[in-house]
Every structure is written in structure tokens, then in C-alpha cells.
Amino acid sequence: MAAAGAQPVAVFGCRPRVAGGVCFLEDHVVLHAAGAGCLQRHLEQKWHKFIPGTERSQGVQALAVSPDRRYLAVSETVAEQPALTVYELSAGPARRRRTLAAAELPAQETVSLGFSPDCRYLAAATAPPDGQLTLWRWEKQRLLALVRIEAPGSSVCQVSFSPQENAQVCITGNGFFKLFKYSEGTLKQTNLQKGEPQNYLCHAWLSEQEVICGTDTGKLILFETGELRWETKLEYKKPPMELEEDATREYDSSCDVSSGLASEDNGSPQDSLPQILAIAAYSKGFACSPSPGVVVLFEKTKEKEVYKESQEIWEKAAYFMYLNYPLHSAPITGLDVCVWKPILATCSLDRSVRIWNYKMNTLELYKEYREEAYTVSIHPSGLFCLVGFSDKLRFISLLYEDMHVFKEFAVRKCRECSFSNGGHLFAAVNGNVIQIYSSITFEIVNNLKGHSGKIQAVKWSSDDAKLVSCDTYGAVYEWNLSTGERESECVLKSCIYSSIAPSSDAKVIFAVGSDQTLKEISESSIQNEVSAFGVVYTAVAVSHSGHMVFVGTSLGTIRTMKYPLPLMKDFNEYQAHAGAVTKMSITNDDLFLLTASEDGSVFIWKLYDKGGGILKWEKEFDYAEEVLIMRSDIEEKSQALIDLQIRVEELQTENEYQLRLKDMYCNEKIRKLEENFTQEINSLKNKYQILHAEREKADLQHQLQLSELQNKQAREVQQLESEKNLKLLMENEKYQELQVKSQKMQEQYERQLHNLEESKSRAVKELTEDYEGKLKELSLLLEEAREDMRLQLQAHEEIKKQIEEDEDQEILEMKIKYERQLMEAKESNLQLKGEIGVMNKRLNSLQKELKERNKDIEEMRLEQQKLQGIIKSLEKEISALKTEIQERADTIQDKEKDIYDLKKKNQELEKFKFVLDYRIEEFKKQIASRENDIKTMKEQICEMEGELERFRKETTQLKLNIAQMQQKLKATDREMHRERQKKQNMEVLVNRFKTDLHNCVGFIQDSKKLKDGIRGLYTKYVQQPDEVETEAAEIDMQQEYMRQREYLERNLAALKKKVVKDRETHQAAYVHIIQENVSLIKEINNLRQELKVAHTQIRDLRSTIRLMEKKQAVQGTAPSGEVLPSPTVLMLNAQKENEKIIEMQQLEIEYLRDQIKVLAAEPLSDGNLPLLNLERSHKTQ
């Protein structure tokens, strides 16, 4: 079987501190550095295209995109050597075009890149202090020029081309701003630096001659042709008060977000010193960022200032939106994939936990906490997850829009945790012990002890019957969860294991570690080892089918190999991460591989076989779509829905009412308009009749005038014809005279021409003779010149061939360029045509609106006339109302006197209010002291509960001792039964001997028979000497055993008596402690009720004061003697009651403190707590 291939389909990560790290390729396609390469990502369609770096690349240092968005230049570090590569960005996968290298260049990393406007040249700058600027003709891999940049220290360096000229380059950095021009094979500096050197952090070209630069002190400096033209300084921009309040409100609402980051930001030096880290030019000017989350726009002016600040844009003022999901900014420590849903969970040292959807390439949930997260495991249902923090292990519910901590476990620095495949159990590492918990009751089911080193990985078998773990001391253990014991182990102390992966049947375990090998462990021994060929394997994963093995290396690469493992170098390797791979996991359908790394990136790989087809799962799997949501959230949303429905109903009724009013108004308006139009139509008909009569009169007048004009025209035509005939006769006579003169002049010119031809023939003969002599001389010179020309032609043809090759290449480039421009122009023309059509439609609609507006204006004029009549009537009413106002002003003066008297009474009431506020503050202080006493009581209760727990442990130990003694008693009973059996056997033997001896005595007269009988007795009953000795030894052992048994029986009786006594004493102490706890809880509840009563009384007092103030304000005529008594009486009664309660509680607290001191002084007797004297407290209650 061939090794499977892997293709990255999604990358969640961004490499920081990369020059030119983020840029747009199209309107919705962004390119940025990620992992060990670059990533193209579509913002709307969510597809990802990963451009892997060079083999063994350690990550991108700088990148640049050409102006036509066709080429990408990348600077990398490969095997501690710099590399410069140019890629072609096309519709398919990016293709590597050129790798630039030169022998005369030193081994330095390129920190900034820039393409020329025509994309033919590439400028690269290395980091100061030994910085260099190089100019490349990258298509021919030719280094055109190199110049050294001297700088006082190492800092950020930026290089760029002029937007209109290929030969002009600008480079800035710490202490230098330089302009270079390429001519005659060298880069020549065109500016002289004047003034104090600045630390230039960024720059941008505004035109062919203007460059704007930003410094680390907040200065903006404009250079024109290398000379300083304009300078300004920006201050550190703090957000407005509204944004700060929003920020604090968000912080208070999220209790789990880290407060350490905020404190670091508050104390940063950036508050006092702004730094301009980014500048971008646009059509009207440029934009820059003087502080985090703030962008300032500058526009060009005709004044001396050249550029002026036009607008400030804030991050939280709805001007910006997130381009990408929030990504991890620190090494990823945990990764796990869900079975029921297409999601995975990751955690990182940046104190965040994130839930990703690898089907939709989106971030589902994200939350930051106060502590660092070391491990994460997601429940198979996708509704819960386990996260191991530095202080506790937390069981978290994954809600629809939040993460809610459901349960916390006291497991500090839990580095590994894992849910079982069924989800009913989960394992957590606590030190060197693996604790198995129940996911339902959250109780510890089992403790797996045996590891001596730090546990690195914990994996479950597919049936959840076994657990596999490894540690840093080279131990790999397989645990049986039913018994809690180790089934198998494999220890290799020379290897520090980092990851393991069991097969689906848990018979084979794959392990990787520090010894640069992949181990196949089976039956407690290493069956096979595969070399890593010079790298360290850091993570391993096995497909559920068992045919494929995937490993991650310390260089960030992913290797895929088949199973059984190959002995030779037979695997596929893919460049992915810029750091060591920390975690790997495979989805349940074997279609996706998930990897995480120390560089904070997560890769989603799609697996396919070597033929190019996607790996198929045996059966299709439908993912679950259920989510969790809090009851309070549902209630809030349902309440909001009800409110909105009510609001909708109100708006509907209001709209219906408004529509009715509008209908009535419109009907009235239509009626009026109909009346006006009928009147106008009648008037227009009358006007038409009058105009028709006038027109008939005008037609008669025009006919008379026309006949007069025709007669006049005929007379004028006859006069003109007679005048023209006279003029023609005069011109004919002049023509004949001129013809005679021309004949005479022609005869004279013919004579002159004949004379000139004769003189010319004579001169030609003389000249031919002279030139034939000169021709002979020139023919000799011509032959010499031909030989020289032949040699020059050969050289010219060679030069011509080279020029033609260059020109052909340039012609092709120009053709491609102008074809692209032509296509863009055609597209723009089509767009403009469409816009023109739209504008014509708008023009027609506006003309219609204009006509309607004119009609409305006429209607408004009519309404204005009506309103003027109404205004006149209202002016009359105003004059009448003024007289009434004068009369009421007199009454107001009288009432003001009454108000002055009421204000005096109000001041007296405010004095009483001040006294009440003072008493309320005293009550609050007393309540605070009571709460402190309650806290001390709670601490005492906690201590007593600890004592009670210790007593329980002692009782359990005693029960174990009793069980052991009972087992020993059963053993002695069995021994006693065995001895009784032996005794019975001996008695039977003696009886037999007696009967046989009696039979022998009967032969006492016959000596032979007597002898034979005695010999038979001897052989039957007399044993050998060694058997006699063993029997004696057994007798001694039996005696010793009897002594030991008697001793143990006596001890057992004594222990039983002691256990009975201890049980009675412990039972009494336990009952007493429970009684004390009950009494203390009752006392605490009583105190809480008293506090509630005191709070309600205070609220009542405040409400009565407010009511009295309102009554006094309303009832100005009431006498002061009727208002004052009620609040004072209430105040005195409440004060007396509260003082009595406080005195009683203080006495009770003092008595309890004395009791505690007495108990602390008395020593503990027999491990029992002393009894508290609570009779007084019960009496007071």
C-alpha cells in the first residue's frame, strides 16, 4: 500500500514581525505569512491556499508583492542560511519562478523587499549595522548592483522603488534616509543627509519626488528630491471618554479575561512617546498611525504647511472591522477533535481557548482567561470540554456564544487530560498520578499510580477498556481500567517520550521521543524502530483504519508513512510549521489531519491516496447540530422578542392611524385641486376662443404684406440683371489685351533657353574628364573601405542578435502589459456605459420630480395665503394673552413669597436628612463588622469539618484493622479443626492397636504365632526413626501454634473493647460537632435576617424623607408643625431597635470569642475536640 498524501486546506495562524506581512491580492483575497510559508485567504468564500516555503525553512522574514499582483518575493532562513525566492501567483497553485543567490553576497537575512513599477527589478535590504542594498534583475537571476549601508545600530529597515521610475530606490532605517539611482551598473546616492539623524521606522512615496517618513518620536518628515521640505510632530492619541467607558464596561462584563495585559499596557512607555509604525499614501494625501488603534488622515493643501490633518479614525468607533479571526499569539499546548461535530478545540500559553470549525474554516468560540492553559480535551458530543489551567482543571460548557465553567477540580498544572471515546469518563494528570473521573458524577473512579517521571501523553483505547500513557523517564504503560493495574510496560530510560498513539485495537503503540526514532511497541517490548534521519519526532498519530502513521518533527514538517513501518526512507514530507509540532490528531472519518505547533498556528490537512483520490470512509457520517444555551439567555431573548412584538404592534396601529390621516388629508387636497382645475379649464377655454379670433385677423394682414413684398422683389431682380451684363463686356476686352502680351514673353524665353543649353554641354565635358580621374582614386579607397565594412558588419550582426533577443523579451512583456491594460479599459468602458444609462434614468426621474415639486410649490403658495390670514387672527389673540400674562405675573410674585417660606422649611428637613445619612453610615460600618465576624465563624466551621473528616478516616482505619483480625480468627478456627481431625485419627489408630494386641495375646501358648503377630504389629504400627522425629517436631509446632493463637485471641478481645470505647467517644464527639454546626448556622441565618430588616428600614426611612420633601414642595400652605413629627418619630424608633440588635449581637460575638480562646488554650485529649458551651448562646436566641 502506498503512503497517503496530505494537502493543507485551512491554516489558522499568522507569523508576526514580517516586513510587508499583510497585503491584498484582490478585493477579497489577502496574503500574509503563516507557519513556514505564506497563505492566500478569501474573506467571503473562506477558502485557503498555502504556499509552502523552501525545504527546512525556519519561516518567512520579509515578503513583497509586485504592483501587478502577479509575483511574490519571499525572504527565508533555510538551514541557518538566507534564501530569496520569487513565486508566480496564478489561478492554480503558486509556482516557484526563481531563487536568487550570488557568491559575492554575505550570509545575511533580508529584512525588506520591494518590486519596481514594471516588476522587472527587485530591491533587497539586509539588517544594519552591516547592512547592504542589492538590486536584482530577478527573471535572469542577475545581481545588477550592490551598495553597503552604514548605520549606527540595528533596527527596522525599509526599502522601496519610486512609483514612476524603475531606477530610483529609497531606503530608511535608524539614523539614515538615502535615495539611490541605478546608472551604469552601480547604485549612486542622490541626496545628502542634513541635520540630526532620526530613527525612521517607515516611509511612503507620495509622488515621483516626494517621500514621507515616520520616526520613533512621532515626527512626520517630508522630503522632496532628498531635501527636507516639511515637518510636523504628532502626539500620543488616547481614545475619547466614551470609548474608554465602553472598554471598561466590556472588561467588567468578562470576568475571565486577563487583567495582566491591561496593566502592562497602562504602564507602557508608549503613553508618553508616540511611534509612527505605518504610513500609506492615497490620492488626496496619506494616512499614518501614531498609536495603537488610531489612524490619522492628512490631505494636501496650497498653504505653507503642504499637508494638514483632516480626520482621526478610531478602532472602536465602527470605522474598522476585523479582517480575520483572532488567532493564537503563543505556542499551542493542547488540541483535540470532536466526534459528533466538525469542530476542534485548541488552547495556548496566550491564556485563550478557541473552538474552530474545520469544515467551514471559521472560529466558533473564543475566550481568554486569567491563567495559562496547558491542555484541552473536547467531549465527543461537542457540548463540553476540559481545560487544564495553572491553578485548576475546569469542566466547561460550550454555549451558543460563550463558554461557561460548570465544574472545577483541584488539580494544579494539569498538563494532560482526555475524554474517553464514549464520553462517560475522563482522565486527568495530577503530578505523577493519572486520575479517572466520571463525567456524570464528577467523582474519582480510579487512581493510576506508577509513573516516576513527568507524564507527557494519555490515550484511550477504542473500547475505553484500556489507557496508555508515557513519561519523561522513558516509560510506556498500558492500564486496565476495570482493575486499575498495569497490564504491560516498556521502559527505555535513555529516551524522553513526548507523544504516543495506540492503534484502534490497542495492541500496537507508536511512541516518539528524544532519540530520533519512531518506535512500535507491542507485548511490553519494542518490536520495530524507524530512524528520523537527523530530526527529532515530537508528535505522532495513527489513522483509525490502522494503515497510516503520521508524525510531526521539531522543524515543523509533517511526515506520512504506511503501516507496517518502512525500514528505508519511504515517506512523504510536507513543509508546514515554523516551529516544533506540539499536537496531532485525526478526525473520526480519517479524512482530515489536524496539527498544532509552537509558532501558534493550526493546520487542517485533507488526506488522499497516492493516486490523487480522497480517502473514503466506509459509511457516511451526519454531524450533530445541537448547541447549549443558558436559560437566562433564552429568557432575555424571549423577553426582547415580546417587547419587539409589542413595539411592532404599536407601530402598526400608529402607521394605520397615520395612513388614515394622510388619506383624509389627500382626499381633501384632491377635492380642492379638482375644483381649482375645473375653474382653470373654463378660464383657458375662454382664452382659447379669444386667441383663435385674433389669429384669423393676423392671417389676413400677413397675406396682404406677402403680396406687396413679392412685387418689390421682381423689380429689384430686373435692375440687377442689366448691371451684370455691362460688367461682363468690360472684362472680356481686358482678357484679349493680356493674351497678346503673353505671346511676346514666350518668344523671348525660348531664345534664352537655347543659349543656356549650349553653355551647359561645354561645361559637362570638362567636368566628366575631371571626375573620371577622381573616380579611379576613389575606387581604390572603396575596396579598402569594403574590407573594413565587412569586419564591422560581422560585429554589428552579433550585437544585433543580442539586442533583438532583449527587444523580443521586452516586446512580449509590453504586449502582455498593454493587453491587460486594454482589457481593463474595455471593462471600465462597459462599466461607464452602464453608469451612463443609470444616470440617464436618474435624470428622467429627477425631471419628473422637478415637475411635481413645481406643482407642490404652487400649492404651498395658496396655503401661504391662507396661513397669513390665520396669522393676523392669531396676532389679535396674542395681544389679548399679553394682558392675561401681566395679570398672572402679579399672582406669581405672591406665590414666590410662599415658595421662599417653603424653602426655609426644606432646609430644616435637609438637616434631618444629614443626620439620618450619618446614622445610615454608622449602621453600614456595624454591618461590615458583623460580616467579618460571620467570616470568622465560617472559618471555625471549616476547621471543625476538617476535624470531622480526620475522625472519619480514623474510623475507616479501625474498620480495616477489625477486618484483618477477623480474617486471622478464621485462620485459627481452620487450624483448630485440622488438629481435632488429627486427634480423632490417633484415637482410631490406638483402638485398632488394642484390638490387634488382644488378638496376639490369644496366641501366647504358641510361640511361633505370637512371634509372627508381634512382628506384624511392629511393621504395621512402629514407624521409622526419622518419621518419629518429624512427628515430635509437629507436636512442638502445634504447641507453639496454640500459644500464638491464645495470645492473638487475648489481643483481639482487648482491641474489640477498645474499638467499642472509641466508637462511643467518636459518636458522641460527632453528634456534638453536628449540634454546634446547626446552632452556628441558625445564628448566621438570624443575623442575615436582621441585616435584611435593617436594610429595609433604611430604605423606608429614605423613602419617607423623599415623600415628605415632595409633600412640602406640593403643599406650600401646610404649616411646618404638621410635617416634621412623622420622620423624627420613625427615625427614633428605628434607631432604638437597631441599637438593641447591635448590642445583643456584639455581646454574643464577644462571648464566642472568649470560648474560642479557652478552647485554644486547652490541649486535645485522645484526639477529641473539646466541647463548646453554647448554653448561653441558646438562651440569648
Grid cell for residue 789: 565594412
C-beta separation of 627 from 399 below 8 A? yes
Q: Which helix (H) or strand (E) holds 434?
A: strand 433-438
At residue 620, the 3 state secondary structure works out as coil
Give the pLDDT of residue 153. Answer: 62
Q: Which helix (H) or strand (E) holds 659?
A: helix 631-1001
Q: Which helix (H) or strand (E) holds 183?
A: strand 176-183
CB atoms within 10 A of CB 560: 20
| CA gap 391, 346 in Å, rounded | 18
Nearest to 493 by CA among 475, 466, 517: 475
| CA gap 1173, 631 in Å, rounded | 47
At residue 787, the 3 state secondary structure works out as helix
| C-alpha to C-alpha distances, 414 to 347, 355, 427, 428, 870, nearest whole angstrom | 13, 20, 11, 7, 85
Q: Which helix (H) or strand (E) holds 1110?
A: helix 1025-1114
What is Dmax (Cα atoms) for the chain?
Answer: 221
Residues 6+ apart with CB under 8 A from 955: 1063, 1066
Give the pLDDT of residue 240. Answer: 57
- pTM of structure: 0.57
Give the pLDDT of residue 866. Answer: 83
Which amino acid does the sequence have at 971? Answer: A
- Give the CA angle between residues 128, 131, 135 to the nearest 5°: 145
- Give the CA angle between residues 82, 84, 90 to the nearest 5°: 145
Contacts of 902-908 with CB under 8 Å at 24 or more apart are 902/1112, 902/1113, 902/1116, 905/1112, 905/1120, 905/1123, 906/1109, 906/1112, 906/1113, 908/1120, 908/1124
Nearest to 253 by CA among 392, 363, 402: 402
Which amino acid does the sequence have at 268? Answer: S
| CA gap 1119, 581 in Å, rounded | 87
Burial class (CB in 10 A: 0-12, 13-18, 19+), 667: exposed
Give the pLDDT of residue 316. Answer: 59
Q: How far is CA 348 from its chain centroid? A: 12
| CA gap 668, 678 in Å, rounded | 16
Grid cell for residue 2: 502506498
Burial class (CB in 10 A: 0-12, 13-18, 19+), 712: exposed
| CA gap 216, 203 in Å, rounded | 12
Rg (the chain; Cα; Å): 54
Query: Half-sphere exposure of residue 382, counting CA atoms within 13 Å on the CB side?
Result: 19
Nearest to 603 by CA among 548, 539, 544: 539
Nearest to 1144 by CA among 1181, 1104, 1102: 1181
Grid cell for residue 121: 527589478
User: CA end-to-end span of the chain, whole Å?
Assistant: 84
Where would I find the beta strands (DSSP E) of 197-329?
200-205, 210-215, 219-224, 227-233, 279-281, 285-288, 294-300, 307-314
C-beta separation of 601 from 572 below 8 A? no
Residues 6+ apart with CB under 8 A from 802: none
CB atoms within 10 A of CB 132: 17
219-224: strand order across its sheet: 200-205, 210-215, 219-224, 227-233
| CA gap 714, 710 in Å, rounded | 7
C-beta separation of 367 from 403 below 8 A? yes
Report the C-alpha dihedral over residues 537, 538, 544, 549, rounded to 10 degrees: -10
Nearest to 427 by CA among 467, 372, 378, 371: 467
C-beta separation of 1162 from 1170 below 8 A? yes
Give the pLDDT of residue 998. Answer: 83
Helices (H), 254-347: 260-266
DSSP codes joined into one string, 444-477: EEEEEE---S-EEEEEE-TTSSEEEEEETTSEEE
Residues in the chain: 1181
C-beta separation of 258 from 266 below 8 A? no
C-beta separation of 1160 from 944 below 8 A? no
| CA gap 757, 833 in Å, rounded | 72
C-beta separation of 324 from 46 below 8 A? no
Give the pLDDT of residue 1162. Answer: 58
Helix/strand/coil (H/E/C) assignment for every residue in 868-898: HHHHHHHHHHHHHHHHHHHHHHHHHHHHHHH
Give the pLDDT of residue 785. Answer: 78
Grid cell for residue 143: 545581481
| CA gap 638, 633 in Å, rounded | 8
| C-alpha to C-alpha distances, 473 to 432, 453, 476, nearest whole angstrom | 11, 5, 9
- Give the CA angle between residues 1151, 1157, 1162 to the nearest 5°: 130
Q: Which helix (H) or strand (E) holds 912?
A: helix 631-1001
Which amino acid does the sequence have at 125? Answer: A
* Per-block mean pLDDT, blocks of 10 residues, the chain (1181 long): 78 88 87 90 88 84 90 83 85 79 68 90 83 87 85 75 90 88 87 81 90 90 87 76 46 35 38 79 88 85 76 67 83 94 94 93 91 94 93 93 91 92 93 92 91 91 91 92 88 91 88 91 88 90 89 92 83 89 92 93 87 54 84 90 92 90 90 88 87 84 82 78 76 75 74 76 77 78 80 80 79 82 83 81 81 83 83 82 82 82 82 82 84 86 86 85 85 86 87 84 80 83 56 73 82 85 82 82 83 81 78 58 42 59 73 70 50 45 42
| CA gap 202, 277 in Å, rounded | 6
SS3 content of the chain, % helix, strand, coil (to 5): 45, 25, 25
C-beta separation of 165 from 149 below 8 A? no
DSSP at 1165: B
Burial class (CB in 10 A: 0-12, 13-18, 19+), 160: buried
Give the pLDDT of residue 268. Answer: 43
Nearest to 1177 by CA among 1158, 1162, 1155, 1159: 1155
